[in-house]
Amino acid sequence: MTPGQQAKRRFLLGASSLGALFLTGCDRLSDTEWFPKVLRTHETLSRGVHKLLGSRPSMAQEFAEADLSPFFRSNGTSMPEGDEYQALAKNGFADWQLEVGGLVEKPAKLTLAELRAMPRRTQITRHDCVEGWSAIGKWTGVPLSNVMALVRPQASARYVVFHCADAMSGGLTPEYYYESIDMDDAMHPQTLLAYGLNGKDLPIANGAPIRLRVERQLGYKHAKYVMRIQLVESFANIAGGKGGYWEDNGYQWYAGI
């Protein structure tokens, strides 16, 4: 080996051991209590800046019919198990009722027919999954703000929580999917309780009878199979306390990024 080759070898050895040390260090940090909390400050920073840049009126991009994805991918649950949901589905959700309660002046129970009779909005938007893919779909539904106007949120209501029919784990007390958004998103004109996809009834694979559309955030915020809506001041006492099923499993509550 020439001195040059030796030096190269020494450098590569040195660099790879430094690299291995660095990786082990990063993984150790990920496993601590404190470091992930430091990392998570990005969520507060980004949300703060995003809120400054675009508050209620900032609208998600809308597309043309020609941009529609040939099929709209179903991710996560595509068929909720459970007898209750199966019975509702068998009957075309005619017996389904959306319960809206919590911190509201006038709790309500709304059937699918009643929701369909309310003012509707159709929008062609891009759905961005946290995994990285996007799909474009045409959604029809009632703007959530109309439902809010009906039940009249109390002044203390800060979040809208969506309780869903899909169980994410088995056992005697299964964890159900749930999500939450703030009042700004709840009152946003593009935030829908969608019952239609691409001009047809919303398929079960995509969340029938209704799913949430909250267009300025990633896919996991768009709760499918919504059964009950609850307005709360804090979601600390719901399930894992982080405001959603994926949030309880480490994902960011603010999914605008």
Partner 1 sequence: MAAVSITSSAPPSYLYYRHTLPVRIMHWTNFIALTILFMSGLHIFNAHAALYWGDSSYSGRPPLLQITTRDGANGERIGVTNVFGREFETTGVLGLSKYPNGAPNRHAFPSWATIPGGYSLAMARDWHFFFAWVFVLNGVAYVLYSLFTRHLMRDLAPTGKELRGIGTSIVDHLKFKHPTGEAAKRYNVLQKLAYLSVIFVLLPLLILAGWAMSPWLNSIIPGWVDLLGGRQSARTIHFIVAWLLFLFLAVHVFEVIISGFWNHIRSMVTGRYRVKTGA
Instruction: Say which residues have a Cβ less than 8 Å from residue 187's Cβ, sequence separation at least 6.
Output: 56, 144, 145, 148
119 vs 250, beta carbon nearer partner 1: 250
Q: How far is the CB of 254 from partner 1 (least distance, A)?
A: 9
Q: How far is the CB of 240 from partner 1 (least distance, A)?
A: 13
Q: How far is the CB of 144 from partner 1 (least distance, A)?
A: 17
63 vs 240, beta carbon nearer partner 1: 63
- Point out which residues bind partner 1 (CB under 8 A): 8, 11, 22-23, 26-27, 30, 36, 38-43, 45-46, 50, 53-54, 58-63, 67, 69-73, 126, 128-136, 215-218, 246, 249-252, 256-257
Q: How far is the CB of 161 from partner 1 (least distance, A)?
A: 20
Q: How far is the CB of 36 from partner 1 (least distance, A)?
A: 6
41 vs 173, beta carbon nearer partner 1: 41
130 vs 187, beta carbon nearer partner 1: 130
26 vs 149, beta carbon nearer partner 1: 26
7 vs 117, beta carbon nearer partner 1: 7
How far apart (Å, rounded) are the C-alpha atoms in residues 214 and 60? 9
Q: How far is the CB of 100 from partner 1 (least distance, A)?
A: 26
